[in-house]
Chains A and B, each alone.
Chain A
């Protein structure tokens, strides 16, 4: 590569220049006085002297190479095969409320379908006046809306039901993302086919190798669901359902059918595999809850956290995290540094949108002592995020899904951090 040779040459030149500078210092010239201090300031940096790449270098940009660690992570032992598996959003490295598209966690059941949008169709049928087929071009001629919503996997934090297991909020809470969707209200599309009055449920199906299906109550479908073809201003990423997915605000991620190809209206739920065998919540009694659609009020401190230890020592510290609720907006987030003995109301910054991530901050002076960090969200419906012990007290430890219990991070005097459970 041309730049590599150039860079080596430039480094050699710089070294030669530095040697000259040292020589100058010993003679006490004005040029030598510049070298006293931070070399990031006193030495002329490569990027200050030599021009960088031109506008033709990266037609579709990537993050800085110094951010190469900010990536989705996989936990191989969680599933039997990466084709039907999940990875995790690096929550500890991102800020604000929007998740960059390339960092949004993935959950597939039959791998990533690579679909030619010209060969994609959306069918609407069942209890309708006339069954219809739409092309992508058709869908883009309906009136559109743009909405920001979180999408949380029902199994987010699921590995933590029995106790602290994975060390980092990326792993314990990273099956969530929040982006702006562009698309058509689902009711607009259903209206085009004409839903018959006996229609009460909607079946949505994907075009991938798992042909994912879920039953959605028609009331929800006609409320705020969307058929989305855009995320964060551009087309959906293939791993997020390109060319089109269902958006089911506030409800468990499994229902947000990707690669959406079929919508059927019926008078009963279909009891598909993903709403019987999976996404049902086993209780200690041996009974199991079904159709637990809504994602409850939840929060997590993303920084400091096990993957983001405190390295700056005592003094001013920015604590930050995210909170969200399927019920609507987050009304308040409280933060504790002593394991829930005392709470301080955090500051929510940025947009406060219903069924979207909320960003909170709590700035304080760390005196270098041991901390037990917790966050507790309250949503606009008045629901307070419970502790894990409260959840387990009612449900047992085998629900797999819907673990929204309060997370504890233990901060040592050295600033290292661990996922723990406390009394």
Chain B
């Protein structure tokens, strides 16, 4: 038994009612489950972190990525990652994050290249996930960098070795959750109960005028605000 197990358990239990202590087994083991085999771990452990941990061996060029993209991806994401219909836009949108309608793409928004590799390998193409080889995913990732002008050389080859050197432009613009510092949360005083505003309420926006709720909406109705993707 590990000597480290107990302190961790205490962290977890300290915030709970005492009734939960017995449920947690108090550090006891139930001897359930069996040890995972190395092949089982290889089959399922495919996640990749920003520091490159989890990257498989392999490599792929921009040119090869373009071939794979045209064949497997362009029907939804467009020839240049600009997207067809409402499917996700993968490239472009640089400098739009403060715009009224930001375009959040790999190049304009995503912080880490590892996410591109991981997500494509795990969940794309939509409807045929896990069908691409590791080399294919390296090549596609290289091509997506090219479409987003992060690399400009169409001879560029992405590999396990040079992967962690590549930085996406928007990495610096992510901040931690600081909602509790927002004035309306920081101020925990009693809210106003009587005569809180001077004039009678007047309407400044109507949902019915937009008329995009399913029972009412016609074919051509366009929502004012985007979808949730």
Contacts and interface: CB of A to CB of B under 8 A. Distances in A.
Contact of A341 (B13, B174, B196, B207): B196
Interface in A128-142: 129-134, 138-139, 141-142
A190 to B, nearest CB: 8
Given A290-B177, A338-B201, A162 B224 contact: yes
Interface string A338-351: 11111100000000
Contacts of B47: 203, 205, 213, 264, 270, 272
A106 interface: no
Contact of B179 (A132, A159, A209, A292): A292
Interface in B179-229: 179-180, 182-185, 187-188, 191-197, 199-208, 210, 212-214, 216-217, 221-229
A285 B98 contact: yes
A273 B115 contact: yes
A86 interface: yes
Given A164-B205, A185-B24, A141 B87 contact: no
A271 B24 contact: no
A187 B12 contact: yes
B23 A188 contact: yes
Contact of A125 (B36, B201, B217): B36
Interface stretch (A3-11, A191-199, A314-322, A358-366): A191-199
Contacts of B195: 341-342
Given A187-B9, A341-B196, A384-B188, A276 B115 contact: yes
B115 A195 contact: no
Interface string B19-43: 0101111010110111110001100
A419 interface: yes
B114 A271 contact: yes
Contact of B177 (A218, A293, A338): A293
Contact of B118 (A273, A341, A386): A273
Contact of A167 (B20, B98, B109, B213): B213
Interface in A100-155: 109-110, 123-125, 129-134, 138-139, 141-145, 155
Give the size category of B's interface with A: 35 or more
A278 B51 CA distance: 20
A161 B24 contact: no
Interface stretch (A21-29, A43-51, A71-79): A71-79
Most buried by A among B13, B22, B88, B201: B201
Nearest to A162: B225
A31 interface: no
B213 A342 contact: no
Interface in B160-192: 173-180, 182-185, 187-188, 191-192
A282 B102 contact: yes
A342 B193 contact: yes
B119 interface: yes
Interface stretch (B122-130, B136-144, B148-156): B122-130
Given A205-B44, A211-B122, 6 more contacts: A133-B34, A195-B5, A277-B109, A282-B102, A338-B201, A386-B182
18 contacts: A80-B87, A123-B41, A134-B33, A145-B20, A162-B224, A167-B213, A194-B1, A196-B4, A272-B119, A276-B110, A276-B112, A284-B98, A289-B179, A291-B177, A394-B182, A402-B179, A420-B204, A422-B203
Closest 4 A/B residue pairs (Cβ): A339-B201, A222-B12, A419-B207, A80-B86
